[in-house]
Structure 1
Amino acid sequence: HSPIRATRDQPPEGPSSLTRASALDYRNTAQKISIVPHCWLNPNAELCIPQTIDAGAAGRAVVNLNRFDLAMLKPFMPDTTQASGVFSGKADVSWDTTQEGLPQGKVTLSGRNVKVTQTVNDAPLPVAFETLNLSADLHNNRAELGWLIRLTNNGQFDGQVQVTDPQGRRNLGGNVNMRNLNLAMVNPVFSRGEKAAGMLNARLRLGGDVQSPQLFGQLQLSALDIDGNFMPFEMQPSQLTMNFSGTRSTLAGIVRTQQGQINLNGNADWSQIDNWRARVTAKGSRVRSTVPPMVRLDVSPDVVFDATPSLFTLDGRVDVPWARIVVHDLPESAVGVSSDVVMLNNDLQPETPQTASIPINSNLTVHVGNNVRIDAFGLKARLTGDLKVAQDKQGLGLNGQINIPDGRFRAYGQDLLVRKGELLFSGPPDQPLLNIEAIRNPDATEDDVIAGVRVTGTADEPKAEIFSDPAMPQAEALSYLLRGQGLDSNQSDSAAMTSMLIGLGVAQSGQVVGKIGETFGVSNLALDTQGVGDSSQVVVSGYVLPGLQVKYGVGIFDSLATLTLRYRLMPKLYLEAVSGVDQALDLLYQFEF
């Protein structure tokens, strides 16, 4: 017989004390220990033994947790997790090692004012619990885990999971319910202006056994709406429904957007738990998508995604009937890392390239329709063609051809027309073969001469050559290309050189001029050249008000000035006034064909 005296201890979580002297009695002949009732106190906890515990080959122990403040867990939790609130509970366990079977017992925990805050992407995500009850029960050869969770100003998550004959067949049973769980609870981790909405409901029933679990019931996500910069389209309230029938499930859903919708269907089978499979199909028509700030496009997908434990595959077709691609300048991310750069980790060791745990194979056909236009680095053109996108363990590959049936290219201060444009892909996506011809606008070229630039070769090593029709020496062809006249024209050599140098200088100044205009509140300020030979002009243009463009041109050789005002009345209807040597007032309508 040994007494336990009133003591006081100082662990990191706070001092603990024994409320009164207690006795611990060990009987060697009976192989039994007896502990009389007592309590342990801590500023943040109170643990009591309300009745004598006789612990031997058989016995029973009852322990009451009257108070446990989650602040005690702070030394053991990561810095990204904070918890507050108080738990209380009870454990009642009995055993008899002389009999077969498992011990019997029940453990219950109940939380009060519990709040957990998890830091996600440097933003706090708080979750407050109105009710938090947990229980575990082991009786009559059946184990059961139950929970009832009500979130503050949100929905409820409750259920129980049962395992019958835990040491034998391990049959599963129980229910899982979700009632009106609002996805808006995750909004704190989103950036400003981003949000999520939607209501999650589920009524599920468990069956089968641990080796072959079964699930019955329905899970439904309604009024789903995610608004974020990471979304390629403006989502409208959508819904997803999953129905479970044993070892199989089906998926049906509609993702609505501001323009167009995507229909989702799918199924899964886990009858062989080690060889499960899942399939999701997505079909849509002219879904308006945006990749800020450069790309707007309509996408019509018809794709199939298959998943197994060993392989993911993505097959199908994607039509792009309409697109507008506008690139003013390249972002910093467009400058790739050199292939000979070796990345080091914190230990100054070469980083091991990360690979997906499950390989991904894809085989997609991308059809570029007749209304796809690009405006990038002086090129304004229409694109068409078909591409095969394939991905396997060797990497991503493209096969196919993109054509430029018509377009204009502004280079060296000249207006070039794309007469022929082909990009041939056969392998790496960044290594297309080029076959492009761009000619000077014949309306701005004398003597019915066609002069242009032909670009061939690969994208990283293009070859450019000047050509003309009829054929002529390179110097003569260059003169027609840059100033629309031959070297033997009446214009003096100094005037010809002046015209070419001004055109080249203006071509290199566009970005600087644009930034100056933004400083003074003039949008799209541009410096350009127009005309041929002696009629060449330097032109400054910009928008001083939305829809009102001002253009001022000065002759290079005659110093005559022309002022043009153009006002947009409707999206394609303009009123234009010109004041110079002549006066004019025109009503212009723009159309495409």
Structure 2
Amino acid sequence: MTQRPDQWTLLSGTAELKLAAGMLDIAGKIRFDAGYWQLAKAGAPQLSDDVFVRRAGGAAKKDAAAIRLLSIDVEADLGRNFHFRGAGVESRLVGTVRIQSDGTGIPRATGSIRTRDGLFDAYGQKLEIERGILNFHGLIDNPGLNIRAVRANLPVEAGVEVTGTAKRPLVRLVSDPEVPDAEKLSWLVLGHGPDQQGGKDSSVLLAAAQTILGGQDGGPLKAVQRQLGIDEFGISSGTLSGSGRPLSSRVASSSGFGSSDTTTDQIISIGKRLSSTMVISYDQSLSNAGSVVKLTVNLGRNFSLIGRAGSDTGIDLLWNYRFGR
């Protein structure tokens, strides 16, 4: 068992250690019965392995990596309870990888690792990882990538797909159904199409700022969200009843049906995701004292149930159908 505050593992299995002629050989099979691994933040930039620095007047030093002192041949099974967090990913990992090294360079690996029940933080949103696979067939620090993560339970499920290798990743926007890239980005960042913005939508700027300013930890805006315990934060144009959408609500009362005020306001929204289909949020108008607490339940890609309490109280069942797709 190994343990640190951000990294710990519980191992079982068999291994053989042999020491001969000043070299240690390690071989065996191990299984991670449980584990948690949080990726360390990126430090200062480092030179590539093929760059050598020779200072003026200094004698060339013998390359320590060329001295063969350790040989490794270990097969590692991640089991069913290995959890990983880092680089925007929170997921359980499964799979088996064989690691081999003759002590003269970077270890080589063969096998694959897959994600289970994972989330990927991108563009200020927590995306569900539909497919997450790392394929090892060479140096351990450069696996092949096959990753797809989407913002689920929306009429257009937009997301990102990452292929290539860890050192040369290829990232592209994807959606189901297929829509233009500008519309994909709107559904991914805002949760609705560009035709539903209803004015200048500052949520785009906030999400873009998080992406630009953020590193592995998501940047200062993401740090504030973690401190406050919230998942969503944005500013949009719309009405409290429409929640940034062009639709207005109709409220049933003793005097009949009445339409709510359709005056467009700037609205700040703070939300907490209770599950993959349920979000509770607080919307506050910046132009008046109006505010609502809202519970949104996505019943499917085209149906959602919204309950509001506050300046505008009511329950809406929304059905979204897109024409021409």
Q: Counterpart of 1:103?
A: none
8 Å Cα contact 2:271/2:281 also seen in 1: yes
TM-aligned CA deviation for residue 351 of structure 1: 2.4
Q: Is 1:295 equivalent to 2:3 in the alignment?
A: no
Q: 1:293 to 1:358 in 2, by over 3 A?
A: same
Unaligned runs of 5+ in 2: 237-242, 246-266, 273-279, 295-308, 314-325
8 Å Cα contact 1:344/1:351 also seen in 2: no
TM-aligned CA deviation for residue 552 of structure 1: 9.0
Match of 2:209 among 491, 502, 505: 505
Amino acid of the structure 1 residue aligned with 2:159: G
Q: 1:580 to 1:348 in 2, by over 3 A?
A: farther
Q: 1:506 to 1:457 in 2, by over 3 A?
A: closer
8 Å Cα contact 1:401/1:423 also seen in 2: yes
Q: Counterpart of 1:413?
A: 124
C-alpha deviations, 1:76-107, integer Å up to 9, x for none?
Answer: xxxxxxxxxxxxxxxxxxxxxxxxxxxxxxxx
Q: Counterpart of 1:319?
A: 31
Q: Is 1:402 equivalent to 2:113 in the alignment?
A: yes
Q: Is 1:470 equivalent to 2:177 in the alignment?
A: yes
Q: 1:356 to 1:504 in 2, by over 3 A?
A: closer
1: CA distance between counterparts of 2:100 and 2:88?
A: 31
Unaligned runs of 5+ in 1: 1-286, 518-522, 542-550, 565-578, 584-593
8 Å Cα contact 1:342/1:350 also seen in 2: no
Amino acid of the structure 2 residue aligned with 1:503: A
Q: Counterpart of 1:436?
A: 147
TM-aligned CA deviation for residue 393 of structure 1: 5.3
Match of 1:363 among 59, 73, 76: 73
Q: How does 1:523-534 map to 2 (within 5 A)?
A: 524-525=227-228, 528-529=231-232, 534=244
8 Å Cα contact 1:513/1:527 also seen in 2: no
8 Å Cα contact 1:513/1:526 also seen in 2: no
TM-aligned CA deviation for residue 378 of structure 1: 2.9
Q: 1:441 to 1:314 in 2, by over 3 A?
A: same
TM-aligned CA deviation for residue 403 of structure 1: 0.3
Secondary structure at the counterpart of residue 195 of structure 2 = coil
Secondary structure at the counterpart of residue 441 of structure 1 = coil
Q: 1:400 to 1:502 in 2, by over 3 A?
A: same
TM-aligned CA deviation for residue 557 of structure 1: 7.4
2: CA distance between counterparts of 1:515 and 1:420?
A: 27
Amino acid of the structure 2 residue aligned with 1:529: E
2: CA distance between counterparts of 1:526 and 1:350?
A: 53
2: CA distance between counterparts of 1:305 and 1:340?
A: 32
Amino acid of the structure 1 residue aligned with 2:95: G
TM-score, normalised by the number of residues in structure 2: 0.67
8 Å Cα contact 1:514/1:525 also seen in 2: no
1: CA distance between counterparts of 2:292 and 2:232?
A: 13
8 Å Cα contact 2:67/2:103 also seen in 1: no
Number of residues of Structure 1 aligned to a counterpart in Structure 2: 259
TM-aligned CA deviation for residue 336 of structure 1: 3.2
1: CA distance between counterparts of 2:230 and 2:291?
A: 15
8 Å Cα contact 2:210/2:222 also seen in 1: no
Determine which structure has the larger strand proportion and give its number. Answer: 1
Q: 1:538 to 1:420 in 2, by over 3 A?
A: same
2: CA distance between counterparts of 1:556 and 1:294?
A: 41
TM-aligned CA deviation for residue 356 of structure 1: 7.5
2: CA distance between counterparts of 1:293 and 1:358?
A: 33
Q: 1:351 to 1:394 in 2, by over 3 A?
A: closer
8 Å Cα contact 1:388/1:399 also seen in 2: yes
8 Å Cα contact 2:163/2:169 also seen in 1: yes
Q: 1:515 to 1:454 in 2, by over 3 A?
A: closer
1: CA distance between counterparts of 2:207 and 2:68?
A: 55
Higher relative contact order (CA closer than 8 Å, sequence separation 6+): 2
8 Å Cα contact 1:310/1:358 also seen in 2: no
1: CA distance between counterparts of 2:156 and 2:281?
A: 30
2: CA distance between counterparts of 1:502 and 1:433?
A: 32
1: CA distance between counterparts of 2:125 and 2:30?
A: 37
Q: Counterpart of 1:453?
A: 160
Amino acid of the structure 1 residue aligned with 2:207: G
Q: Counterpart of 1:304?
A: 16
